[in-house]
C-alpha cells in the first residue's frame, strides 16, 4: 500500500482545502502514515509545517476506518510496473494534485513543499532528490521520471535560487 505525503514547509496554521477527487488528511505533526518504518521520518524531523496525506477517494468517507493509502491515485501503468520503478498519477487525479501542490507552495512562507512516496513493494532503497521547481517536477511526472520511495523538495517556480559562489562552482 503506497503512501503519498506532502509537507508544506513552515506552514503555521491549518488550511481549508478545496474539494478534491481524492482524500486528504492534514496535521501539524510531521508523522508518516506508513509505519512501522517510514522511509523519510528523519527528513520530516528536520523541518516544521503541516503534512498532507493523500488517499484513495473512498478514504474520505466518514464511515471509512481502514488504512489510509493512495494506490488508486496511481496510473494503471504505475500500478502494474515491475517493482513500481516510476511514480505516475492516474489522469483523473493529476489536476487535483497539481492544484494542491500549487496551493501549498503559495501557503509555505518559503515557497517549499516536500513530496514523498513510500511503497513497500517499490524499490528497496529510498532516494532523496535535489530541489526542483514545480514546473520541472511536473515535467518529470509527464516523462515517467519520478520514482517511488523517493523524496522531492519542490520550490515555487517564482522562487529565485541564489547565485552559486566560487566555492560551489
Q: What is the mean pLDDT of residues 28-44?
A: 83
| Higher pLDDT among residues 158 and 126, named by residue | 126
* Global confidence as pTM: 0.89
In which band, very low, low, confident or very high, does the pLDDT at 169 lie, cut at 50, 70 and 90?
very low
| CA pair distance 168, 112, nearest whole angstrom | 22
Confirm if 79 and 72 have CB atoms less than 8 A apart: no
pLDDT 10s digits, 85-120: 789 999 999 999 999 999 999 999 999 999 999 887
What is residue 10's predicted lDDT score, i.e. its pLDDT?
A: 97
Q: What is the mean pLDDT of residues 19-39?
A: 86
Amino acid at each position: 500500500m503506497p503512501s503519498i505525503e506532502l509537507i508544506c514547509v513552515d506552514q503555521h496554521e491549518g488550511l481549508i482545502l478545496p474539494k478534491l477527487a481524492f482524500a486528504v488528511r492534514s496535521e501539524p505533526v510531521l508523522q508518516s502514515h506508513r509505519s512501522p518504518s517510514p522511509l523519510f521520518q528523519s527528513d520530516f524531523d528536520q523541518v516544521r509545517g503541516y503534512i498532507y496525506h493523500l488517499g484513495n477517494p473512498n478514504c474520505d468517507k466518514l464511515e471509512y476506518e481502514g488504512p489510509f493509502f493512495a494506490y488508486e491515485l496511481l496510473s494503471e501503468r504505475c500500478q502494474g510496473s515491475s517493482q513500481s520503478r516510476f511514480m505516475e498519477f492516474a489522469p483523473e487525479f493529476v489536476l487535483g494534485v497539481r492544484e494542491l501542490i500549487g496551493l501549498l507552495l503559495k501557503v509555505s512562507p518559503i515557497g517549499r513543499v516536500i513530496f514523498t512516496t513510500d511503497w513497500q513493494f517499490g524499490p528497496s532503497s529510498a532516494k532523496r532528490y535535489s530541489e526542483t521547481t514545480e514546473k520541472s517536477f511536473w515535467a518529470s511526472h509527464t516523462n515517467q521520471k519520478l520514482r517511488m520511495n523517493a523524496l522531492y523538495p519542490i520550490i515555487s517556480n517564482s522562487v529565485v535560487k541564489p547565485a552559486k559562489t566560487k566555492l560551489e562552482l
